[in-house]
Structure 1
Amino acid sequence: MDDRTHTSTRLFGETPPEFKAAGRDLRIDICRGIALWWIFLDHVPNNIGSWLTPRNYGFCDAAEIFMFLSGVTCALAYGRAREREGWSSMIGRSLRRGWDIYAAFLLLTLACVVLVYLAGSDDLADLSNTRILLQHPGATLAHAVILQYRPVNTDVLPVFVIFHVLFAPLLWLLLRAPNVTLGASLLLYALVHVFGWSVPAWPNGVWFFNPLAWQLLIVLGAWCVIEGGKFRPWMMSRPALVLAVLYLVFGLVLAQSWSIKPLVPQTLKDLVFPLDKSNLSPIRLLHFVALAIVVLRFIPQNWGALSTPTLSCARWCGENSLSIYCLGVLLALASHLTLLDLSEGLAMQIVVSFAGVLMMIVGARLLNAISLKRERKSGWTQSIEKVPPVR
């Protein structure tokens, strides 16, 4: 996915060059890792660390980044699996990954309620939406199994379950009619905003991340892998960059207008805010697109800083996104409990923010080490099996 390389027109049915490319764009895992750090910092209420995240400087936040990059990684991983092993193997991979996320969601739900129970905090039980699980465990777990109940901050996992299970037909459509598929996704997104379509949750309300709306970012990410090369020269052009920067500045001014009153008239703020995150407000979507254009323009694939220690730490987290996301949810709960029980002062906010990110990095490093050890053991076993027997 080299954003500075001209891509020739792809014939109908031809395999996208990204599926044949060896290796992986480091920017993908680095951006996912940074997004995971930002999500953790945003999940800790009243946390000074959240001022390091994009939430306070525009309309979108780390959720849009994480969703879009999930579409990119799914297209690359499943597209290459389909190229090497065929459709049946690719479908099996997507279903297994969907099952992994589903199991992780259920285990995370149980871990959240255990943590809240051990903490013995009524406030945390209410804020984490786990009180109902403590009071009615049978009914609540039954609804969790069918993805209708979710503790706070776990909402994104059921969405990913659905998208991984359905990614095979999406990839089939994108490979045959990419622009039509993206158009259908845009149409569904528009209908959600026109008619207010949503997915019900239990015991009341709807899914916080409405999959009927957020599917657009997944589809857009996959479309960029398969067809985006044709539009990349326009995205890298000066007019696109100017428009993106102007929109980012506009978002920054409006976001800061809450603390600097004279910046923007109240009528304009009332028109824009509050932003609808559940249905992916168009203003949030445009802000993410503008941010993506700027990042692609100024951070090329061969940028030397991608190998620095800090960004390497982010890459480790991005490579283990599911495990680190779940760890981040638990760390956010623990951090919130720490702030409630010990101190909500600035120093403690800095400590829990730094400690949480550090624990995510350590966890990712350990997971990579375990994975590497398994690969070496597997390779050693295979080499032994290939040795002919002594006669």
Structure 2
Amino acid sequence: MLQKTFEGGNDQRGVAHPVPTGRDTRLDVFRALCLLTIFVNHVPGQYLEYLTHKNFGFSDSAEAFVLISGLSVGAAYSGKFLAGGRLALTLKIWRRALALYVAHIMTSVVTLAIFAGGALYFGRQELIGEINIRPIVEQTEQGIVAMVLLGHQLGYNNILSMYAVLFLLLPGFLWLNAVRPRLLFAFSATLWLAAGCFKMVPYNFLDDGYWFLNPWSWQFLFVIGILCMSHVRRGGSLPRSPWLLGISVAYLAISAFWVLFSWWNIDLSFGLPAVLTGFDKTFLSLTRLLHVLALAYILATVPVFSRLTRVGSNHPLVMIGRHSLAVFIFGTILAMAGQVLLLVTDRDRIIGTIFVIGGIGLHFAYAYYLEWLKEVSVAPPLKAA
């Protein structure tokens, strides 16, 4: 998705410089790592889950995925949202939002089928009580309508709906970014803070709950990614400061100790709103936001990480990252099957771990298949003899 195309030019002395063209694979690699980590975390109760970075800090792969999405969107759209072409680009973006909505409904329906099938085949009716399925079973008519209208979400099936809302908002973000980037930052930050302070969040229809990932909060991280990439595309760069690097490392270390030693009972709120001092994922508390930004700063400014992730376009991780939506859908469905397997085997950690290892392998196989399918679809037709 991150396709960088540059035009050649002269410097102030009139000397021409060759400018590289091609796809930057670094975001694809990081996106692939996020997708694999999300899959591992979505099959709770097996050993690999304890190795993911959510166990060593405040944020997890969801925050990283949204930030990378914002960076990718900034690279793909910010330079194209110009007068005269904004309507066409807006319609293209909203078509993507529709695709994300359809993908969310599809994965939710398949998830229902997996858990219902497990309940029928294995005689384990308690499966219907998992991941917020029971309200749909007990109120079928209302449940179907609520699910289609995004008024009821199943557990582990809530990223795509939030992402679809972000794409609905994206044309407005791009317009503000084109007019005045600081205005976009101020608007996004204000919306994030208001959502956290006043609990502005889409509510569910069937119960008293609300969306697990609040789009009015998570849009801030998405916008930060857009602004950072737009700044770079305009010729700017991230500040490479030893102080910022040291602060980032220190914050990651403190958050790691906080999680590892369960210091959750320490109260440092000083009467401030929870969105600034808590650790809530729904409203993307500042502690989680700063954690993913600190991690991203280190990965972006320390050269060794850039060298490790700048790989060939045929690298397996690049293939996964290049087909992120299809692979995410595949991983979600596979993870739901893994959850049923763990439940019917009384949460056998060894079986769960074997399943996850096999599932990771299937992610690579599916990405290779998608790549092969793309090559076949663009291959020239065979000429008749």
Per the alignment, do residues 135 and 343 of structure 1 end up closer, same or farther by CA in structure 2, a change over 3 Å counting? closer
Structural RMSD (CA): 2.8
Per the alignment, do residues 303 and 265 of structure 1 end up closer, same or farther by CA in structure 2, a change over 3 Å counting? closer
Per the alignment, do residues 138 and 265 of structure 1 end up closer, same or farther by CA in structure 2, a change over 3 Å counting? closer
Q: Which residue is equivalent to 1:53?
A: 52
Q: Which residue is equivalent to 1:280?
A: 284
Does 2:144 match 1:141?
Answer: yes
CA contact (8 A) 1:78 1:93 kept: no
**Higher relative helix content:** 1
Distance 2:144 2:264 in 1: 47
Q: Which residue is equivalent to 2:230?
A: 226
Q: Aligned AA for 1:55?
A: K
Matches within 5 A, 1:174-253: 174-204=177-207, 205-227=209-231, 232-234=237-239, 236-253=240-257
- For residue 124 of structure 1, the aligned residue among 114, 122, 127 is 127
Q: Which residue is equivalent to 1:15?
A: none
CA contact (8 A) 1:125 1:131 kept: yes
Q: Aligned AA for 2:50?
A: W
Report how far residue 123 of structure 1 moved: 2.8
Per the alignment, do residues 305 and 160 of structure 1 end up closer, same or farther by CA in structure 2, a change over 3 Å counting? closer
Output one character per residue of 1:339-370: Cα deviation in whole Å (capped at 9) or x when no partner: 22235344223202211211122112211211
Report how far residue 127 of structure 1 moved: 1.6
Distance 1:126 1:303 in 2: 47
Distance 1:77 1:23 in 2: 13
Q: Aligned AA for 1:209?
A: L
CA contact (8 A) 1:129 1:152 kept: yes
How many residues get paired? 355
- For residue 261 of structure 2, the aligned residue among 257, 276, 279 is 257
Output one character per residue of 1:185-216: Cα deviation in whole Å (capped at 9) or x when no partner: 11111122222222211212111111111110
Q: Aligned AA for 2:40?
A: L
Q: Aligned AA for 2:302?
A: F
Report how far residue 153 of structure 1 moved: 1.1
- For residue 297 of structure 1, the aligned residue among 284, 293, 301 is 301
Q: Which residue is equivalent to 2:85?
A: 86
Per the alignment, do residues 294 and 171 of structure 1 end up closer, same or farther by CA in structure 2, a change over 3 Å counting? same
Q: TM-score, normalised by structure 2?
A: 0.84
- For residue 153 of structure 2, the aligned residue among 150, 155, 166 is 150
CA contact (8 A) 2:151 2:205 kept: yes
Distance 1:284 1:61 in 2: 8
Output one character per residue of 1:276-311: Cα deviation in whole Å (capped at 9) or x when no partner: 0000010000111110111112256862554389x9
Distance 2:308 2:293 in 1: 24
Q: Any idea what SS the aligned residue of 1:154 has?
A: coil
- For residue 313 of structure 1, the aligned residue among 298, 312, 316 is 316
- Between 1:54-63 and 1:77-86, the stretch displaced more is 77-86
Distance 1:372 1:81 in 2: 27
CA contact (8 A) 1:154 1:329 kept: yes
- Between 1:44-53 and 1:94-103, the stretch displaced more is 44-53
Q: Which residue is equivalent to 2:7?
A: none
Distance 1:123 1:33 in 2: 34
CA contact (8 A) 2:341 2:352 kept: no
Q: Aligned AA for 2:113?
A: V
Q: TM-score, normalised by structure 1?
A: 0.83
Distance 1:321 1:72 in 2: 14
Q: Could you tell me the percent identity over the aligned residues? A: 23
Report how far residue 266 of structure 1 moved: 5.0
Distance 1:159 1:352 in 2: 28
